[in-house]
Amino acid sequence: MQYRVLGRSGIAVSELCLGTMTFGNTTNESDSIQMIHRFLDAGGNFIDTADVYVSGQSEVIVGKVIKERRSDVILATKVRFATGDNVNHVGLSRKHIMDGVEASLRRLNTDYIDLYQLHVWDQITPIEETLRTLDDLVTSGKVRYIGCSNFLAYQLMKSLSYSDFARYARFISIQPQYSLVSRQMDREVIPLCLEEQVGVIPWAPLGGGFLTGRYVRGQEPVEGRLSSKAGESRWELRNTDKNFRILDEVTAIADEIGKTPAQVALNWLINKNGITSPIFGARTLEQFEENMGSVGWRLTDEHWTRLDRVSALEDDYPYRFIEKFARRV
């Protein structure tokens, strides 16, 4: 396992991050515990969860397992979504964040969180209120670093600018959806993160399972995340000609080098400029071991470029115009 510095910070995280969204649900507690131990034993040190994953049960399981190995783990969790029926049990207000961090600390059985992330922008709460609250948490020692997730580029830049202006703690990372079949962040977010030294921790690096190679054109799945009628990984979003062309290339390269499609897709992402640590999830121990097989080797330049080209975004305005007319060197 290799390590990368997380954004503009002094901490190093493993090149893979263990996602725990299914822990206590489709992944039973026993398997969840084994996955965490295997991940840490293999050199992984970065674990991601959230207060709303399985109604907090994911945090409980993670906290139980890492208790004796706490100093070895970079622990990330999130706040924003509804945790109760009360009108103020949601959002990024000072109240909800303060209530949320205390609840997460109890469930995680720890006295600090390494990376506390805003799950998505809150259109009601002023970002100034949110950032002041997060800065207070860093000053108090309950939170070591802060990050965001699912922010637009302007929202991220606005947050960074205000933090710099007010001398508050700054986001060191963003957690967006990003994979070979979801590269929209290439438009604005990835260039901004490179410019501002913000770490990128992609979720759904296998497109919700699409890039595992288990799906066939014209055959809608009846189980798994792609069978859902809602969410970013639903079949209607993945079932496109371009996505299957990408999958064909992934599968062809996997056959050429003796790897699985999932390992190829993850390895491409691990070696993508600007990407810090993809968050992988696994329903079963077999899936976990397969995903862990994406490290310790590297795609050839030819294979990496083939994947990059087949998955690239269309050459749209204004990016096409800027590339042609605005460059000086």
Does the pLDDT of residue 262 top 70, yes or no? yes
Name the least confident of 29-33, 148-152, 216-220, 239-243.
216-220
What average pLDDT is seen over the chain?
Answer: 95
Question: What confidence score (pLDDT) does residue 216 get?
Answer: 85
Question: What confidence score (pLDDT) does residue 45 get?
Answer: 98
Does the pLDDT of residue 97 top 70, yes or no? yes
7: left (phi over 0), alpha (psi -120 to 50) or beta: left
CA 238 – CA 181 distance, rounded (Å): 8
pTM: 0.95
Question: What confidence score (pLDDT) does residue 277 get?
Answer: 98
- 3-state secondary structure (DSSP) of residue 250: helix
Question: What confidence score (pLDDT) does residue 43 get?
Answer: 98
Share of the chain above pLDDT 70, in %: 100
**Token pair recorded at residue 68:** 């004796």
Question: What confidence score (pLDDT) does residue 234 get?
Answer: 85
Does the pLDDT of residue 147 top 70, yes or no? yes
User: Maximum Cα–Cα distance for the chain, whole Å?
Assistant: 58
53 is annotated as an active-site residue: yes
- For the segment 210-239, the average pLDDT, to the nearest whole number, is 82
Please list, in sequence order, all residues whose beta carbon lies within 8 angstroms of the beta carbon of residue 213, skipping any fewer than 6 positions away: 247, 250, 251, 254, 260, 261, 262
CA 101 – CA 42 distance, rounded (Å): 29
Q: How far apart, in Å, are the Cα atoms of 259 and each of 212, 221, 255, 282?
A: 11, 24, 7, 18
CATH T-level assignment (fold) for domain 3-212+262-297: TIM Barrel (3.20.20)
Q: Which residue has the higher pLDDT, 225 or 118?
A: 118
Name the least confident of 42-56, 134-148, 205-219.
205-219
Cis amide bond preceding 318, omega within 30: yes
Question: What confidence score (pLDDT) does residue 108 get?
Answer: 98
Split at pLDDT 50, 70, 90, the class of 65 is very high
Q: Where are the domains of the chain?
A: 3-212+262-297
- For the segment 31-44, the average pLDDT, to the nearest whole number, is 98
Catalytic residue selected from 53, 116, 145, 215: 53
Does the pLDDT of residue 229 top 70, yes or no? no
Does the pLDDT of residue 175 top 90, yes or no? yes
